[in-house]
A and B are shown apart, each in its own frame.
Chain A
Amino acid sequence: MIELRNINKHFGERHITKDFSCKFEQGKTNLIIGESGSGKTVLLKCMVGLTNVDSGEVLYDGQDFLKMSIKEKQNLRKEMGMLFQGGALFDSKTVEENVTFPLSMFTEMTVEEKAERANFCLSRVNLKNVNNLYPSEISGGMKKRVAIARAIANSPKYLFCDEPNSGLDPKTSILIDKLIKEITLEFNITTVVITHDMNSVMEIGDKVVFICNQQKWWEGTNENILHSDNKELGDFIYVSKFLKELRDKQP
């Protein structure tokens, strides 16, 4: 489980988050939603230590991440997997080398064992015959899937996804969402997904946290989000005329 307590972050005069507190449970896909520029990615980066917080606590199964030494943070990070917005695959390495990289760094696996694990992870994300291709030779959707394969290669306890389906067509988006959900259940990991895609929310949102005005504005599940009477959340969800009409027709 990951717990955030009173996280504050600001860049200069601009506040990004104010007293943000939340719990993300194991074996569930926890979604953080909000408008572009609402500070979702910064919050995620604060959680994994890529950005320093001004004050607050980030607890991983009760251990305060922010108070850890560099070495302790590095050890904890070996249990994390992260899917970046652009994939962040290593350009100079092939797909297989990307997937086996964490294994090469932190395990004593043989070349054959690593190849076997890479094939398993790639098949898990429905990719075949791409092992020897470079990231520049595959599509955006495939890059995302390779990034997921790399993130799960070392069997992480925590999975972070920063807008996993941005720039993807609806069909591939749903495929990626389903993958994240399946992997979360299969490996019983704590997954935190940043998104502003309502399809993702309805598809995989076991727990949904809505950020507005630099604060946690609403918290619930995908089942009760549509019936929420929170005005800001309603404005975020029912942004189009079509959706507003659909809401008004609801009993």
Chain B
Amino acid sequence: MKNHFELLGLAPAFALEPAQLDRAYRDIQSRIHPDRFAHAGESERRASMQWATQVNEAYRTLKSPVQRAKYLLALNGVDVAFETNTAMPPDFLVEQMELRENLESARDVDSLDLLKADLLNQKRTLEAKIAECIDGRHDYRSASDLVRKLMFLEKFGEDIGAAYEALDA
């Protein structure tokens, strides 16, 4: 079976132009989507569903930086063991705790907006580093540490979302 990158005709790299991914995804879906085969025979309808399912999965995985990175590391034989390996550098953890304290004391939309903008910057910086590690130096070990950090930031993003929600309620 083809891997997600091959399936979408993309080079297996962390750095990825979202527009290019979107275009590849749509080009392929527009040919194999079950809507193309609604009037076809059973075997074609089934094949189309299986392909469209795979292409959707590939797109979903490659679209998310964390998922894309994890997938690339796995392709390169690095077992990242994210679930069991939770040890993080102390300074990073202190930073994370500060961020969470800031979030807890945020009482209005403006301060949440600030936190969100700040998070976006941090993510960009981290993603650039990951790209350098994976695509440039092929240093998958270090990349795996950075990806774990990125997961922390993603989780923090979700917490910000929940805080917006709490303000609305």
A and B held together in a complex: no
Give residues in B with beta carbon < 8 Å to A.
Answer: none
The chain A residues found within 8 Å of chain B, CB to CB, are none
